[in-house]
Structure 1
Amino acid sequence: MKAITIQHPHAFAAAAALKPCENRGQRITHRGALALHAGLRLSSHPLPDPAATAAFARLGGPDRLWRPAGPDAAAAGPSLLAIGAVIAVVDLVDCHPAVGERGRVCCAPWGERWHGAAARPAHHLIFSDVRVLPRPVPCPGRQITPWLLPPAVAEAVEAQLTAQ
């Protein structure tokens, strides 16, 4: 299974089905199941949607982020606030340039014109059918997009999806 690493609070917003669009600096050809991996770091970019910001705060926000000890460890917090772990699976249904034919940026409020410190032209990854995992599956993330989950992690994720 392929995966994408996203920093909180954006990982929370995507896994909670509040953020249907993720920004990346390159086009992604993969379509289908994509594991959402919550990175270890907190994003310096605030959520652009007040409803998502409020939902993140209701769960405890950055003060409640936690790292799973192992795949079978008891949860130390809400699944959606785990770090260094796969927290959900989505379907990646589209990837398109941020700027349309008339020079306008689409996918507001989540879509951005530029991505990252290098300010590359952004591409919008469009998610649907979010499935939150009951228990986060710990694993190291990657900066490349998308990346392949280690076999044992993919098996643990698939087992939870089958049990739902």
Structure 2
Amino acid sequence: MLPRLWRYGLVLSRQKHLADDLVQATCVRALERAEQFVAGTRLDRWLLAIMHSIWLNELRSQRVRQGQGFVDAEHELSFDGESQAQDEVLAAQVIKRVNALPEAQRETVFLTYVEGLSYKETAEILHIPVGTVMSRLAAARLKLAETATPRAMSDKSTGERR
């Protein structure tokens, strides 16, 4: 579960050291509240929900300390190996576009498309209705389509791989 938790922590925080802290806090809270885990349910959903809750609490406390407004989390992911294959360059571009999504859309995209959770599971983790998950995903797809470069769109239509 640690790699999955770390990926989600990175999606939420956009910073490696904060993702590490989130994973650690999630593990500690899960151990402290182990009796709350319902046998026969999915451990991954429970842990992701704990991490989401910790992240929201951290955002709230930062807003209180800083006054008001959203916490600036505009940090891009970096990739090692500048000379790596074009696929990795494309992956970096996709990640950059996904990172530019509003936080609610970004975390919904991650849980649904990267972690492969169902709409219902994503809704339960985020404590939102399934319809909101569907709405966020639709809005994210539209936003991603809008930010696609004309060259990328023409390559897609001609079937060329970039």
Does TM, scored on the shorter chain, surpass 0.5? Answer: no
Q: Which structure's CA Rg is the greater one?
A: 2
The structure whose residues are more often strand, as a share, is 1
Higher relative contact order (CA 8 A, sep 6+): 1
